[in-house]
Structure 1
Amino acid sequence: MSCKKPSDGDRRLLDKSGFAQEFLRRNPRYRSDYQKVMRARRGSTEEQEVMARRWGLAFPLRAWLVRG
């Protein structure tokens, strides 16, 4: 897996999630919101989840969290 960022010409090759990631990465409001939550000394998982929902993000559950 490459960490190389796509050039302008490569963006047309992005799938929906890749396009969304590029959009958020370049959005100044998202970046500011993300930095506030991540810098907070008492930043809780709940605050991170609220921020993620605000931006329409959803993360699949990991298998180890689902096991009982």
Structure 2
Amino acid sequence: MAQDSGQGTGLRDLDFAGFAQEFLRRNPAYVRDYQKVMRVRTAPGAHVAMEEMAHPWGLSFSLCTAGLR
């Protein structure tokens, strides 16, 4: 298994979704956006902020993840 810079994740073995997740996890701009929106995720109307954050990254949050069941 090919390893990336000693992080323990074989990037060549990942499917598309797994690779995308690893890419975003390592992207400082995404991490900042994600942390910012997670701080307000329980506030009224937080789902709007989550959708606005996710759209430029090509993501969507499930209602369960957003705590909006």
Aligned to 1:57: 59
* Unaligned 5+ runs, structure 1: 1-5, 63-68
Q: Which secondary structure state, in structure 1, belongs to the residue aligned with residue 58 of structure 2? A: coil
Cα drift, residue 58 of structure 1: 3.4
What is the percent sequence identity of the aligned residues?
55
TM-score, length of structure 1 as denominator length: 0.66
Q: 1:61 to 1:38 in 2, by over 3 A?
A: closer
Per residue, is there more helix in 1 or in 2? 1
Root mean square deviation of aligned Cα? 2.6
Q: 1:61 to 1:32 in 2, by over 3 A?
A: closer
TM-score, length of structure 2 as denominator length: 0.66
* Unaligned 5+ runs, structure 2: 1-6, 65-69
- Which residue identity is paired with 1:7? G
Q: How many residues align?
A: 56
